[in-house]
A and B are shown apart, each in its own frame.
Chain A
Amino acid sequence: MAETTTAPRPVVATHGLWVVLPFAILCAAFLYPLFLIALQAVTGPDGALSLAQPLRVLTTPAFWRAFLNTIEIAVSASAGCVGLGLGLAILLSFVPFPGSRTAARLIETFVALPTFLVALAFTFLYGSAGILNETATTALGLAHPPVDFLYSRWGVVLAEVTVYTPFALRPLLAAFSLIDAAQIEVASSLGAKPLRILRQVILPAALPALLAGGSLCLLLTVNEFGVVLFIGAKGVITLPLMIYDKAIQEFDYPSACVVAVVNVALSLGLFSAYRLIVARIGGRHAGVV
């Protein structure tokens, strides 16, 4: 054992050098800009380091509104994704129908589509002059459109549920494919009702995948920009939208950097949680897509 570990060491050392080039590119194009954001956030107008800037931004009600909005939207949307994903996964895996694999694959293609597509479609479906409202007003003879959730937080939540459910669905389908079909058949031949099988066989097996999918959805919904921008509801400002508003609309780069530091810290925290869960359940899948 000792000979084999000492002999190839110099080779291993030169092999390690190959990583320098991609890592240098990552540093120049990503890590260094990220560091400059943090630096800019704590640099005063005179160029000296100061906490005045972050303190000023972090004590405004607008920041806290955006922060709470982001958390509320992300938590509700992720809960929706996990719930819907679980329902669809159970349907696709345990009550399969002809073409269910194609259906699963079709839902998965949503991963590659731009998120704002759904927000744009929602304007036609649920907007004040959308299909749903027009049908309801003409059919029921109402004076005002009855459905009015699109330009609120719930419009954003529903659009994000649509966009991100495939991310919760995928680990669940993978986990369910590992359940032995005989296990379920034995349980049901012993007289267990479907609900009991769900509770005692399927859900325990799905728990790690639920956690992994849920934390991934949480990360993606905290970072979501396109849906919030397209729905453009007045009161619904999230952290990514606030970064955009401060930097591009108000040219206030220092404030944008303070908000970005908070947002990046939140995202990286969620990312670490996701990686820990995936490592714990032993999945190979460590990436976001």
Chain B
Amino acid sequence: MLVWSRAARRMIWAVGGLVAAIIYGAPIIVIALASIAGHWNGAWPNDFTLRHYGNALTGDSARQLRTSLETGAIASVFAVLSGTWAALALRKIAPLPRRLFDLFFFMPSAVPSVSVGLGLLVAFSQPPVLLNGTTLIVILAHFVLISAFSYGNISAGLARLRPDYEQVAESLGARPAYKLWRVTLPLILPYIVGALSLSFALSMGELGATEMVYPPGWVTLPVGIFALSDRGAIFDAAALTMLLVAGTFAILLALVRISNRATVR
């Protein structure tokens, strides 16, 4: 306890709460408000409507929501696969090369996403592999960007793993594949699920690389939201943003519940 007087503590809470509410509460509330605003001419909305959600769930926007969900699902599953694989493989090699590889696997999270997109455009607009203008290049861009995050999550989990369980399994004669499948992977399952949720959330909100590489037939939700807000349809953009946030959270919650059930068992 740093502040002993009750009055002083109350005042600090009030100021801190106000600052936090302005900085973190207000943006979410105002987006929610805008998504149901019919007309907004004064300081506050004049009337309310669900029209923007209607627009969001039909036509182009509905397709973009599906595109984002599919891109996020595919990219994050592959990112977690490759991240888990890389993190497991790196445990077995000497410290110096391990630190070097570790640096490389983290690198995609450190460079601007726009340049990841630019690199893919430059690399795959020329033979031998032509991907420019395909769905695959969007998924690849998302995969590259989020693979670093899932690698990071899983290698952090592995670093926290106590070695005894694996050593016991080994001393009882478990083969490496059995040990991996029945001991190591179940122990790091919470981190795998964590990596999957984070990857999915990041993919759902990815804008920079997608703006660079997306073909007209594969428009993700953030790209659609930007197009709407650029065109001045800010209420529709707000409704789509709410759907993006809600969709992301729904899937995160579902994954957390699955992981809880798995660890309780």
Does A112 lie within 8 Å of B248, measured CB to CB? yes
Does A229 lie within 8 Å of B211, measured CB to CB? yes
Chain A neighbourhood of B204, CB < 8 A:
114
Complexed CA–CA distance, A122 and B241 (Å): 14
With known contacts A22-B86, A244-B212, A275-B103, A97–B13 Cβ distance under 8 A:
yes
Chain B neighbourhood of A87, CB < 8 A:
16, 19
Does B234 lie within 8 Å of A123, measured CB to CB? yes
Complexed CA–CA distance, A230 and B102 (Å): 34
Complexed CA–CA distance, A124 and B33 (Å): 10
Q: What are 20 A-B contacts defined by CB distance under 8 Å? A: A15-B89, A16-B92, A22-B82, A26-B147, A31-B104, A36-B119, A88-B19, A107-B20, A107-B24, A116-B207, A121-B30, A123-B234, A188-B2, A223-B113, A229-B211, A243-B115, A260-B114, A267-B111, A287-B106, A287-B152
Residue-wise, chain B 22-45 has the 8 Å CB interface mask toward A (1 for contact) of 011011101101100000001110
With known contacts A114-B207, A225-B114, A21–B105 Cβ distance under 8 A:
no
B56 beta carbon closer than 8 Å to chain A: no
Does B1 lie within 8 Å of A94, measured CB to CB? yes
Chain A interfacial residues counted at CB < 8 A:
91
Chain A neighbourhood of B174, CB < 8 A:
none
Does B208 lie within 8 Å of A226, measured CB to CB? yes
A19 beta carbon closer than 8 Å to chain B: yes
With known contacts A240-B112, A263-B112, A34–B16 Cβ distance under 8 A:
no
Does B20 lie within 8 Å of A88, measured CB to CB? yes
Does A263 lie within 8 Å of B102, measured CB to CB? no
Interface centre among A33, A36, A95, A263 (most CB of B within 10 A): A33
Chain B neighbourhood of A248, CB < 8 A:
211-212
Of B93, B111, B202, which one neighbours A12 at CB under 8 angstroms?
B93
Q: B residues engaging A (CB < 8 A)? A: 1-4, 9, 12-13, 16, 19-20, 23-24, 26-28, 30-31, 33-34, 42-44, 82-83, 85-86, 88-90, 92-94, 97, 101-116, 118-124, 140, 143-144, 147-149, 151-153, 156, 159-160, 197-198, 201-202, 204-208, 211-212, 222, 225-226, 229-230, 234, 237-238, 241, 244-245, 248, 252
Residue-wise, chain A 263-289 has the 8 Å CB interface mask toward B (1 for contact) of 110011011000100000000111111
Chain A neighbourhood of B85, CB < 8 A:
18, 21-22
Complexed CA–CA distance, A40 and B238 (Å): 39
Does B34 lie within 8 Å of A124, measured CB to CB? yes
Complexed CA–CA distance, A42 and B105 (Å): 26
Quote the shortest CB–CB distance from B90 to chain A (angstroms): 6
Does B160 lie within 8 Å of A284, measured CB to CB? yes
Interface centre among B109, B112, B206 (most CB of A within 10 A): B112
Residue of A nearest to B221 (CB): A114
Chain B neighbourhood of A222, CB < 8 A:
112
Complexed CA–CA distance, A29 and B142 (Å): 11
Q: Quick one: which of A41-98 are within 8 Å of B by CB? A: 84, 87-88, 90-91, 94-95, 97
Does A131 lie within 8 Å of B114, measured CB to CB? no
Complexed CA–CA distance, A67 and B249 (Å): 36
Chain B neighbourhood of A106, CB < 8 A:
24
With known contacts A19-B93, A29-B143, A286-B106, A121–B31 Cβ distance under 8 A:
yes
Chain A neighbourhood of B121, CB < 8 A:
247, 253
Does B24 lie within 8 Å of A267, measured CB to CB? no
Does A257 lie within 8 Å of B205, measured CB to CB? no
Chain B neighbourhood of A257, CB < 8 A:
118, 122
Interface centre among A15, A138, A185 (most CB of B within 10 A): A15
Complexed CA–CA distance, A91 and B152 (Å): 29
Chain A neighbourhood of B103, CB < 8 A:
275
Chain B neighbourhood of A285, CB < 8 A:
156
Of B16, B148, B238, which one neighbours A91 at CB under 8 angstroms?
B16
Residue-wise, chain A 105-124 has the 8 Å CB interface mask toward B (1 for contact) of 01100101111111011111
With known contacts A15-B93, A134-B43, A229-B226, A110–B2 Cβ distance under 8 A:
no
Does A253 lie within 8 Å of B44, measured CB to CB? no
With known contacts A30-B144, A162-B23, A285-B156, A40–B211 Cβ distance under 8 A:
no
Chain B neighbourhood of A239, CB < 8 A:
112
With known contacts A116-B222, A118-B27, A288–B149 Cβ distance under 8 A:
yes
Chain B neighbourhood of A123, CB < 8 A:
229, 234
Chain B neighbourhood of A284, CB < 8 A:
156, 159-160
Chain A neighbourhood of B33, CB < 8 A:
124
Residue of B nearest to A122 (CB): B27
Quote the shortest CB–CB distance from B231 to chain A (angstroms): 12
Q: Quick one: which of A133-182 are within 8 Å of B by CB? A: 134-135, 138, 161-162, 165, 181
Chain B neighbourhood of A135, CB < 8 A:
43
Of A19, A33, A121, A286, which one neighbours B86 at CB under 8 angstroms?
A19
